[in-house]
Structure 1
Amino acid sequence: MSPTTARGMTMYAKKTLFAATAVCLLGACAPKPENVKPGYAPQAVYDSLSCQQIASEAINVSNKAHDKAGIERRHRHQDEAIVATGLIVFWPALFFTHGHSTQSASDLAQLKGEMEALEAASARKGCGIKFDRV
């Protein structure tokens, strides 16, 4: 192998590593569900509900949040696999990461906000409803 060819492969490897690092540093990987910040949900919506109705809504919102968190975890694992593949084999694969703009992350943020609003309404009425955080 000539020095030019060896040097060219080294440059290719450096460029690939730089591209993958830049993609990850710029937030291309889907976020961990526990790192998704709650979105705004008005608390007044739940003020007219009884404790039983708040509990029922809490179960509904909690189940939806659990489902969205699972989707977000899958996206994150897929992104990690794509980045590894891009680093080792095929750098254009890096363009197929889900990133922070996924709909499931947005939905999860909204559901987390609803969970906070439900907890606040529960506290005001003395219902004692608390969520385990996703």
Structure 2
Amino acid sequence: MVILSLAACADKSDKIAASYVSPTIYQGMTCQQLATEAQSVVNRAQEASHAQDKKASNDAVATGVGVVLFWPALFFIKGDGAQAAEVARLKGEITAIQQASNMKNCNIQIK
């Protein structure tokens, strides 16, 4: 049961790979619009990553408590879900904006 629980733990945000987002959706934007969109997406990605990291930490705590003290705590492990998908999508959007910026020679540096 413990092995199954560990597999169900939510991943930290830095372990979630970006989903593919086509840069063509950003082709009609100017460099200024791309920069504004990049900042907006980065802000949302930071919020989503923070929420995912909190979820992963909560799962780790529940696993620790469940393994060591109280096995019913293992039922509180949520694993990855919609929040992880949101992190992956936003990471993909950041990559797509960076690619669109590069194609337009905008020199936008997204961090």
Same-fold status (TM-score > 0.5): yes
1:46 to 17, 20, 26: 26
Structure 1's unaligned 5+ residue stretches are 1-18
Residue 32 of structure 1 deviates from its aligned partner by 1.2
Aligned to 1:83: 63
Write the deviation string for residues 44-82 of structure 1: whole angstroms up to 9, x where unpaired.
Answer: 110010000000000000000000000011001100110
1:121 and 2:107 are equivalent in the alignment:
no
Distance across 1 between alignment mates of 2:45 and 2:16? 11
Distance across 1 between alignment mates of 2:15 and 2:43? 18
**Once superposed, what is the RMSD of the aligned Cα atoms?**
1.1
User: What is the TM-score normalised by the length of structure 2?
Assistant: 0.94
Residue 117 of structure 1 deviates from its aligned partner by 0.4
Q: Percent identity?
A: 33
Structure 2's unaligned 5+ residue stretches are none
User: What is the TM-score normalised by the length of structure 1?
Assistant: 0.79
1:31 and 2:11 are equivalent in the alignment:
yes
Distance across 2 between alignment mates of 1:23 and 1:87? 9
Distance across 1 between alignment mates of 2:46 and 2:28? 26
Residue 22 of structure 1 deviates from its aligned partner by 3.3
Distance across 2 between alignment mates of 1:129 and 1:37? 22
Matched letter for residue 123 of structure 1: N
Instruction: Count residues with an aligned counterpart.
Output: 111
Aligned to 1:106: 85
Q: Relative contact order: is structure 1 or structure 2 higher (C-alpha 8 Å, sep ≥ 6)?
A: 2
Distance across 1 between alignment mates of 2:87 and 2:11? 11
Distance across 1 between alignment mates of 2:12 and 2:4? 19
Runs of 4 or more, structure 1, over 3 Å off, are: none
Distance across 1 between alignment mates of 2:103 and 2:23? 11
